[in-house]
Amino acid sequence: MKHLTRIACAVLISLAISAQASDFSISSPSLKIGGSLPQIHVFNGFGCVGDNKSPALSWQNAPTGTQSFAITTYDPDAPTGSGWWHWVVYNIPASVQSLNEGAGQASGQQLPSGATQGKTDFGSVGFGGACPPAGDKPHRYIFTVHALKTSKLDLPPDASAAMVGYMIHLNKLGSTSLEVIYGR
């Protein structure tokens, strides 16, 4: 009987954690799930003409124990064999639940104190907007907020997006994503 009680408690705890993680959500005033990425968030270069501004993002109901957040923007459809990282920002304090439009500028001046941007596949820090090859089918752009169980990812300043991603996944309590598309 004692064994069954432990199992029942473990199941209830697991269900409570899953239910809470499923309440973790992301939203943006300029991004609509499944919608097209607005021109303001499109890269300005490589034949693309946009304002290259990161979107405003907000998130709520992070899992219990969250000590910091990380945000990634990823295009799994880029013709590289491994996708394309458009934005990587981490060490966002747990007290922060939103970023303003344009917070992803390379200077990082609009990011919360302590937040760090990693290198993108453009080879630099800061938000790099969408710019799929002309004539390609529309690409998916996945904006994800990750709740982390550590207050700081200790990474070198030149860490690649893959390295940051590795550390995010080692420390992740939960994540929530918003996917949009863009083609030209």
Q: For 78-102, how does the pLDDT look when each residue is reduced to its tens digit (9 = 90+)?
A: 999 999 999 999 999 999 999 999 9
172 CB-contact burial (10 Å; exposed 0-12 / middle 13-18 / buried 19+) = middle
Fold entry, domain 2-182: Phosphatidylethanolamine-binding Protein (3.90.280)
Give the end-to-end CA distance of the chain in Å, rounded to a whole number.
63
The pLDDT score that the predictor gives to residue 58 is 98
d(CA 174, CA 17): 10
d(CA 148, CA 144): 12
Rg of the chain over all Cα atoms, to the nearest angstrom: 18
d(CA 155, CA 170): 13
User: In the numeric block, which tokens belong to residue 3?
Assistant: 């064994």
DSSP 1: -
Which stretches of the chain score pLDDT less than 50? 2-20
The pLDDT score that the predictor gives to residue 120 is 94
The pLDDT score that the predictor gives to residue 3 is 45
Domain edges within the chain: 2-182
